Chain A
Amino acid sequence: MREPKIIVVGGGLAGLMAVIRAAEAGVPVDLFSIVPVKRSHSVCAQGGINAAKNLKGEGDSTDRHFDDTVYGGDFLANQGPVKRMCEAAPGVIDMLDRMGVMFNRTAEGLLDFRRFGGTLFHRTAFAGATTGQQMLYALDEQVRRFESEGKVKKYEGWTFLSAVLDDHRISRGICAMDLKTMEVRTFPADAAIFCTGGVGAVFGRSTNSVVCTGSAQSALFQQGADYANAEFIQVHPTAIPGEDKCRLMSESARGEGGRVWVPKKPGDKRPAKQIPEAERFYFLEEWYPKYGNLVPRDIATRAIHKVVYTQKMGLEGAPAVYLDVSHIPRETLDRKLEGILEIYEKFLGVDPREHPMRVFPAMHYTMGGLWIDNANQATSVPGIYAAGECEYQYHGANRLGANSLVSCIYGGMVAAPAAIRYARGLDKGCESVSTVVYENERRRQEQINDSMLHAEGTENPVTIWKEMGDWMTEHVTVVRNNPDLERTDGKLLELADRFKKINLSDRTYWANQTLSFCRELQNMLVLARVITRGALARNESRGAHYKPDFPDRNDAEWLKTTRAHYDCGTIKFAYDPVDTSMIPPRARRYDAKA
């Protein structure tokens, strides 16, 4: 039997897991990543990872995890894959535990669990407040082991540009660029698994890392891969606004007892500590007594918006509320939350153990993504698979905290064997494809580079990016109105037009970051339109997607997956039914009457 050739693009949690599964199966893998994989965005994950291990005697079960996830996602997720993920989760935690992830422990030496949003159970395993970092390192170490055995070859410092499609629109490999030499090269492969993360940069400033641009997803979309539920973007309620990045204050701060409040008197100028209990408005606890500060993110985010913009109760009139952990013993804070409190202290110079933190919602997570099938993580292009935040499968209209890490690992676990099965089943492998196919794709990509490098326009790419981000944040996040969405789409077209008059100010062929950024920006401008137009079409409110003019969920018309398709330069939408065969949709509410 011929050895299949597999490529993985992206070395975050999903990508590394896929690599490990392929290497374990004895199949050699090439791994591509813009940053050294150990620096992937997954390091940012703070709070933890969900699995119904039921180690706290609360009667938790994988069925309850399944129900919380589907309900939390407002019934937009296909239930089969979600159920399988929740059932696999306890095994995932065991695997990570065996790999040496330094999870927090109980007195008995067992894994400790904390409570996260959208559930009433202690279901979240954690390693201090740096869980993603610890998990990524554990997988990275296993991949390094396979690398030293010659089973994995890493291409770090390479960026994916496009898939190589043959005459039947079957993927036969990828085209990538070395970010140091700017060399463009094609790499034949029978199957490629994409694990390229979220799209934060489309919104300018978000809680995501710099390389989370969605560029790879957009490039694939423009080559015919469908993109699903783009309009579902999670805005996290508690981040520290910043000019370069909105730094997250994890839900774990609330899981460990943190409370959100504003002074009852709008514009109150007293320092937080001098405002007595009775004069504080703990609005989440008051409005949602059952879940309190741990309502799901979409609910908490809209509540903060309401307090700030409708009730005009933001701190000193500014868009900010307090996230307060100063009542929790210092020792507990240092043991369980040090990693995140340190961030606040370092970037704002204020100790959150003493003073309540000032936070505001920020773009955080991409629920939508490359469309994949319900069983194999296969996209609509044969030979292309996807796992992790870049695909759409597990979180429906709103992701629950600590569910992403588990979906990344699970997706990687499913994608690798599926891709190998597909590759083994091919009549003819990539070696039978004419070299002309590869040559043409390489030349096409080189021409794009050349034309960008030599463009003699006047537009600065960073300026275009900032404008896109500001428009997307203002009109396509928490509250969406159709006229604004229309205007945003117009703006995006204008920006795409201005992009044609770009000037790179760096024309060298050596570590030219301006060129790679421009390639990303061009792709982001397309993806931004998919998100905006998807939101415009969906006239209802569901999960993270909220339209005041259509305030209710409308299952009769909108219980369906948005599926965008790129057709000769135009974005078209089709809608698929959602698999709700196991848990019948019910109204989603977290307030007292729930």
Chain B
Amino acid sequence: MDTAAPGGGNSGRKVIVRVKRRPGTREEAHWEEFALDWRPHMNIIICLRDIAERPVTRDGHATTPVSYEANCLEEVCGACAMLINGVSRQACSTLVDSLEQPIRIEPLTKFPVVRDLVVDRSIMFENLKRMKCWVPLDGTYDLGPGPRIAPEVQEKYYPLSRCITCGNCLEVCPQVNENSDFVGAAILSQVRLFNAHPTGAMHMKERLAAVMGPGGVADCANAQNCVEVCPKQIPLTESIAEVNRQAIRQAVLGWLLG
């Protein structure tokens, strides 16, 4: 078994990690540095676990384990987004060997910090609600199969349904800041997904009305940072453009029909 305990050195190689600590929402942040034993295939979560098992800084001060979010550890739950060497990404799929040292780990900056690396991203779920990101269903009782969908259509929209609500696309978006309500790329891409579904389209009008409201698609300034960081390679700029077209069409139609 390859469970070399941290501190029980093997190769002697070290991984130097600096973590931005913040004990609570109101407290000041400070940095702590740790020296961990290197092992093959180490990722950032393994580093944080090593610290939890031996919460002692590089210069020998006892400290507390770092608070962070993680669940699936295979980049599919979205929980572990953080800034690693300044890049917004998932900690579980970030391998130590691909990084320059010392490795700097910070919480996302566009969401309120709860403690250390834990941030509150509930705004994303709230916005999904606001944009009615669901298929309206009469009920879950047996009503026979759903609508037929061509394989090409499935192949086009399946990638959109892989969004893990990690928030990386919001983190890097200049339009997401204290002075704006912009819902961000992820949510607009979900709007596109539900507008495309034959039943979901029945809510299209309400969704587009919300999209044209405050914080909607008009706030996108086309910086295109979102596509760069999305761990699921979702075609976000394409999604925003399509939702924008749909919104304009609806606005023009509404105007024509009075």
Contact = CB atoms under 8 A, between A and B. Distances in A.
A155 B46 CA distance: 29
A104 B77 CA distance: 21
A105 B154 contact: yes
B3 A466 contact: yes
Interface stretch (B156-164, B210-218, B222-230): B156-164
A110 B129 contact: no
Contacts of A247: 73-74
A347 B55 CA distance: 26
Interface stretch (A134-142, A256-264, A574-582): A134-142
A345 B252 CA distance: 46
A44 interface: yes
Interface in B40-70: 41-43, 45-46, 49, 52-55, 62, 64-65, 67-70
B209 interface: no
Interface string B120-148: 01100100110011111101101111101
B106 interface: no
B65 A346 contact: no
Contacts of B135: 98-100, 138, 141
A591 to B, nearest CB: 32
A543 to B, nearest CB: 26
B96 to A, nearest CB: 11
Interface stretch (B9-17, B28-36, B192-200): B192-200
A510 B128 CA distance: 28
B258 interface: no
Identify which of A44, A128, A346 gathers the most chain B CB atoms within 10 Å of its CB.
A346
Nearest to A147: B129
A141 B115 contact: no
Interface band, chain B:
35 or more
Interface string A348-384: 1100000000000000000000000000000000000
B134 A142 contact: yes
A508 B25 CA distance: 14
Nearest to A466: B3
A102 B148 CA distance: 11
A109 B155 contact: no
Contacts of A105: 148-151, 153-154
A462 B72 contact: no
Interface residues of A, number: 78
Contacts of A141: 128, 133-135
A505 B55 contact: yes
B202 to A, nearest CB: 12
B5 interface: yes
Contacts of A102: 154, 157-158, 161
Most buried by A among B65, B72, B116, B197: B72
B78 A39 contact: yes
Given A100-B200, A346-B93, A347-B41, A38 B71 contact: no
B38 to A, nearest CB: 12
Interface string A173-205: 000000010000000000000000000000010
Contacts of A339: 76, 162
Interface stretch (A2-10, A237-245, A322-330): A237-245
Interface stretch (A89-97, A291-299, A300-308, A435-443): A89-97
Interface string B75-105: 1111100000000000011010000000000
B26 to A, nearest CB: 10
A24 B143 CA distance: 15
A519 to B, nearest CB: 15
> Chain B interface mostly helix, strand, loop or mixed?
loop
Contact of B128 (A44, A144, A347): A144
Contact of A508 (B23, B139, B197): B23
A530 B75 CA distance: 32
B118 interface: yes
Contact of B137 (A130, A133, A134, A142): A142
B241 interface: no
B142 A94 contact: yes
A347 B93 contact: yes
A335 interface: yes
A106 B152 CA distance: 10
Contacts of B128: 141, 144
Contacts of A474: 1
B115 A510 contact: yes
A510 B140 CA distance: 40
B148 A110 contact: yes
A84 interface: no
B77 A43 contact: yes
A511 B114 CA distance: 7
A111 B128 CA distance: 27
A355 to B, nearest CB: 16
Interface string A205-219: 000011100000000
Interface in A140-168: 141-142, 144-145, 147-148, 156
Given A346-B93, A462-B49, A94 B143 contact: yes
Contact of A24 (B2, B116, B122, B140): B140
Nearest to A412: B140
Nearest to B135: A100
B73 A209 contact: yes
Contacts of B79: 35, 39
B45 A244 contact: yes
Interface in A115-139: 127-128, 130, 133-134, 137-138
Nearest to A93: B145
A150 to B, nearest CB: 12
Interface in A12-26: 17, 20-21, 24
Interface in A487-527: 505-506, 508, 510-514
Given A244-B43, A347-B74, A347-B95, A511 B3 contact: no
Residue of B39, B45, B73 with most chain A CB atoms under a 10 A cut-off: B73
Contacts of B2: 241, 243
A109 B148 contact: yes
A75 interface: no
Contacts of B24: 510-511
Contact of A44 (B53, B64, B76): B76
B165 interface: yes
Contacts of B45: 244
A453 B151 CA distance: 56
Given A39-B71, A41-B72, A466-B3, A510 B143 contact: no
A104 B70 contact: no
A70 B144 CA distance: 27
Given A109-B149, A511-B24, 11 more contacts: A35-B79, A97-B145, A102-B158, A103-B154, A133-B164, A141-B133, A142-B134, A210-B70, A244-B46, A463-B53, A513-B65
What are the 3 A-B residue pairs with the smallest beta carbon separation, nearest first? A109-B148, A97-B146, A141-B134
17 contacts: A38-B78, A39-B71, A99-B137, A106-B151, A137-B161, A141-B133, A141-B134, A142-B134, A210-B71, A243-B2, A247-B74, A335-B155, A339-B76, A343-B74, A505-B62, A508-B23, A511-B118
